[in-house]
Chains A and B, each alone.
Chain A
């Protein structure tokens, strides 16, 4: 186990390792995804579009996490590849529908599917992706044995269901134009909407694969929650302050959408009564009717109350908690590149652009 001091000084190399692993496993996962996304009719309005989001690239974080965890716990080279592919396909399904729900314009540097082809087709494409994620999981029956394959199916079902419940919370906030939210409300939503399917379950499933279902996966939940929460908060921050080229979505798009990020929640907590009233009105306005000066005003209030700094500190704190939890938990694994990848995740979460 690398002592803390050297991980601070080699934060750059830790991030470099993470990027390297993501790139390698990401490529393998993409190949597997392509294998499983059949190409047959109807192509024009379905199957060609189904591969659109996956082909746009992206980090393949979930697939890589699953595969790396499986190998760190002792799996063979490719025991987890199909499961990882399933997770990526499901992730893309969520992205397609999220973009429709948020009415976003851009994804990974290109227009979103519903902008290109209309909402009805986009919804159908999302459905197809979601269902396509099942197929790779069936392969596990032969690869991993029916018991483990079934267990993985159960895990994926739980994961997807909780993620949808988390999305419901967030959508509900927007529909009800919620203003009085707390940090705990946010963390609870992030736990269910994002962490569950970005970090917690990919890791769990990887660990189950690596140990033939014998590890106590519940023990890792806290660690993974903190990693995922730091990831999401950082992601939201990048939306406000990131470099557009690297980020891939429009800057401040979240404000246009009225997304209740931690930054926005903090601003609403600290705002004066008049400011809160104005914010409420702005957030109640649908995206296409929002005025640029209102969004700019929101952004100015965020700066005035130091909310970006606040969110950064929270993210740092959570990453620190993740390191703290992870140090103990991961120390039991034999040394390997995959183990070092897992250990480096909390740091990378904060470093990435």
Chain B
């Protein structure tokens, strides 16, 4: 107690210092979509009687809401950027090394932005890996789930539970009926565990949208063997045309078809 007293005597209290006021906010509002300027009244809820006077509680509550969500979004953006930038040496200030990686990645992003490409890679991943037997749940067998369309044709052994799928099946035999004056190379992949009902083939497209598609391709699965019929006009430009084979009823993928026109 004595010690404190003498400290007080040694340093007589200064007159109260003036201090800056606290500012209403210290950051600029950069997101125009949510700007609640002084001139814009806060939106009225539909359920209220639509009173003309903006309620101060409503306004402050909504303002608080925007502050909270904007901070959340900002942190999310920074975390994402940190994760992204952190993965590339040379970014965030240094020139040179990072640029090649960045350009490569940007190029990749652009390539995968086309509808066909992303769908295509997903398809390839799906189809080319054989699924191991047993544990991974398969799409529920017909009868267990209503897909909203006509019930697809039953599988060969409808009473066996879906989990007991055979590990591997031999790929069905393939017959090609081709009507073309141009040399063709046809590649077909069929998912051995895919749906085995009536099939439909999407129009085959080339990489460039300017080339005409190959239409009217038919595929049929009958007693274990697949037959494909297609026609290529003599004016068809050279290129690789690819498309999906799907189950007609459920639109689930059954395989892929690719034709190289020389």
**Residue positions of A touching B, CB distance < 8 A:** 4, 7-8, 11, 35, 76-78, 135, 138-139, 141-143, 145-148, 183-184, 187-188, 191, 212-214, 218, 221-222, 225-226, 229, 310, 313-314, 316-321, 323-325, 328, 346-347, 350-351
Are A148 and B122 in contact (CB-based, < 8 A)? yes
Are A221 and B42 in contact (CB-based, < 8 A)? no
One of B68-76, B175-183, B213-221 at the interface: B68-76
Task: Return the CB mask of B58-100 against A: 1 if under 8 Å, else 0.
Answer: 1111101111110111001000000000000000000000000
Q: Main SS of chain A's interface residues? A: helix
When distances are taken between beta carbons in the complex, the residues of chain B under 8 Å from A191 are 68-69, 72
Could you write out 9 A-B pairs with CB less than 8 Å apart?
A: A139-B137, A145-B126, A146-B125, A188-B72, A191-B68, A221-B73, A222-B33, A222-B73, A320-B46
Most buried by A among B65, B71, B139: B65
User: Among the listed B62, B119, B145, B251, which residue makes an inter-chain contact with A320, where contact means beta carbons less than 8 Å apart?
Assistant: B62
When distances are taken between beta carbons in the complex, the residues of chain B under 8 Å from A351 are 47
When distances are taken between beta carbons in the complex, the residues of chain A under 8 Å from B251 are 76
Are A347 and B46 in contact (CB-based, < 8 A)? yes
Are A316 and B58 in contact (CB-based, < 8 A)? yes
Task: Other than A147-B118, A212-B118, give 7 A-B pairs with Cβ distance below 8 A.
Answer: A146-B126, A184-B67, A222-B66, A229-B65, A314-B57, A321-B62, A325-B34
Flag whether B48 is at the interface (Cβ < 8 A).
yes
Question: Which residue in chain B gives the minimum CB-CB distance to A309?
Answer: B57
User: Among the listed B43, B64, B72, B140, which residue makes an inter-chain contact with A323, where contact means beta carbons less than 8 Å apart?
Assistant: B43
When distances are taken between beta carbons in the complex, the residues of chain A under 8 Å from B64 are 183-184, 187
When distances are taken between beta carbons in the complex, the residues of chain A under 8 Å from B118 are 147, 212-214
A337 to B235, CA, bound (A): 46
A351 to B119, CA, bound (A): 42
A351 to B121, CA, bound (A): 46
A142 to B125, CA, bound (A): 10
Are B62 and A318 in contact (CB-based, < 8 A)? yes
User: Among the listed A138, A221, A229, A313, which residue makes an inter-chain contact with B58, where contact means beta carbons less than 8 Å apart?
Assistant: A313
User: Among the listed A4, A142, A313, A325, which residue makes an inter-chain contact with B126, where contact means beta carbons less than 8 Å apart?
Assistant: A142
